[in-house]
Structure 1
């Protein structure tokens, strides 16, 4: 079986597994990677970019290399290769958990239990929830759903289509490292620089595809395109900007504004200023948009991988004919 078909079958099975089962309940490989990265950090940490780059190379490179060895071990056994791809996809894609956490917060807000919503918010994003009201919590959830659609679903599928199991695992490793050390705290301002920049590079194609698919899957394509074009560049993150702006336009809501991370207040620009403030009911709409976007991303990744595989097959055939042309004569 060709590698392109292995990816298509395996990624489809893995995404279905995520939709039906969610994340593994116990012994999640991403959690194990986080513990390993933390152990490496305790050995390598210095307030220096070079040591941070080494930490990134050891952790992300080690994860991708290990995945490559597993893929090579599966070798020419198609069923095992498909199973490995499915398992990797199920492990690294987090769409079901994203939707579950967002809906749990939405349910708490719908019940008028703002305290419970504040308690659950850290499961979804890193904002300080103590002083957020209902509208601010709902906005934080919608923004997190948008950004994590790219980080936890679409980006992984894109890199899986490009590089198979090593691409899936490597992308999730980079994204996890950025969450661990890529923020601008005093400890990680220099040490986490390499992880943050690598995550920006790795997330670039997935973020643009997520924004484009949100335009197609949302209810207001014109509004999504307008918000993406006019507001995305104002966001401090080169990848979260297009995604959040496209979601804001597609949903007809206004995102951005003042927020707080780890006691640090940020005044972010407003995305889709023509939209209305976020309501609790918009959380469910955002989750559904995220789900549609993820399914479309699987289709795009599969078609792209099959197209590239077909082109490579034709190129190999052309080289073979050219090499043996003289022998036929």
Structure 2
């Protein structure tokens, strides 16, 4: 039953994204997760607590998130399929729809390219700042383009391939459990002193949840555009055990260098380069990256459609 659900979710997301009218009225489900994380962090992540205590509270926070995300989703899915039989999957697909960011990711990265193409570097910095965590105020055009392309590659996993993978594997509870874990990692799964202990569980569970989807994402990007040698060579250069796979695949397919020195909160981090090439990235390279992304998404459609047909 998961296969037609996945294909329908892909189609809904490609056609509509998450409409602004809905967002204004009801927000987005990850907002609920963020609220829970924020409340738990305020109450439990206190400097006076020991490292082990804060780590334990971080584990408890993640368990609460998973209970809130997966518990109701499992009950609703069971009720729908029991009450409506085969037709219940349509409602399940609608409830899973907000978990994918296929259209939203394309639109956000396209906005960066549009501003670069129009010569609006400040606007491009603002646009890319909406999708990356690094400092963007001092980025030149090449830095903005690299940031957009890196975000596109990494978010192809986090926002498209991984949610779809868990939807196919575990249905509605699987996709929302993944989104809860991924949201927790993005908010508290950091290595600085404030978050290291409290966000430990979120970071480790996110690594585990993305292990297969990240490698699948790299595979799909290489199938769509090449880059195999760079992916195998450079995936391990990334600090994340997972993000390097789609990022190295994207770098290899485009013939660009990505990553490199990056500033966060005013502190420069000397990260290694991923990929190779002598030219600087620009708006045209974002266009090429988006075309590659669309081909990789099409492969996901073929996987979901083929699984549904075989079923």
Q: Which residue of 2 aligns with 1:54?
A: 60
Q: Which moved more, 1:49-58 or 1:297-306?
A: 297-306
- Looking at structure 2, the residues matched to 80 and 58 of structure 1 have their Cα atoms a distance apart, in angstroms, of 31
Q: Which moved more, 1:282-291 or 1:239-248?
A: 282-291
Larger of the two Rg values belongs to structure: 1
Q: Which residue of 2 aligns with 1:32?
A: 32
Decide whether aligned partners of structure 1 residues 69 and 8 sit closer, same or farther in structure 2, where only a CA change above 3 A counts: same
Residue-pair matches, total:
299
Correspondence list, 1:107-118, <5 A: 107-118=114-125
| Mapped pair 1:238 → 2:241 | yes
Q: Which residue of 2 aligns with 1:64?
A: 70
Correspondence list, 1:64-83, <5 A: 64-76=70-82, 77-78=84-85, 81-83=88-90
- Looking at structure 1, the residues matched to 270 and 202 of structure 2 have their Cα atoms a distance apart, in angstroms, of 24
Pick from 8, 25, 32: which aligns with 1:13? Answer: 8
TM-score normalised over the length of structure 2: 0.90
| Mapped pair 1:282 → 2:285 | yes
Contact 1:252 1:276 in 2 (8 A): no
Q: How big is the shift at 1:42?
A: 2.5
Q: Which moved more, 1:79-88 or 1:117-126?
A: 79-88
Q: Which residue of 2 aligns with 1:268?
A: 271
In structure 2, list runs of 5 or more residues that go unmatched: none
- Looking at structure 2, the residues matched to 201 and 213 of structure 1 have their Cα atoms a distance apart, in angstroms, of 20
Q: Which residue of 1 aligns with 2:98?
A: 91
Contact 2:2 2:168 in 1 (8 A): yes
- Post-superposition Cα deviations, 1:184-234, rounded to whole Å, max 9, x if no partner, equal 23211111111011000000111011100111111xx2xx11001111111
In structure 1, list runs of 5 or more residues that go unmatched: 1-5, 311-329
Q: Which residue of 2 aligns with 1:322?
A: none
Contact 2:257 2:274 in 1 (8 A): yes
Correspondence list, 1:209-220, <5 A: 209-218=216-225
Q: RMSD across aligned C-alpha pairs, in angstroms?
A: 1.8
Q: Which residue of 2 aligns with 1:23?
A: 18
Q: How big is the shift at 1:239?
A: 0.7
Contact 1:30 1:91 in 2 (8 A): no
TM-score normalised over the length of structure 1: 0.85
- Looking at structure 2, the residues matched to 73 and 41 of structure 1 have their Cα atoms a distance apart, in angstroms, of 34
Correspondence list, 1:66-215, <5 A: 66-76=72-82, 77-78=84-85, 81-215=88-222
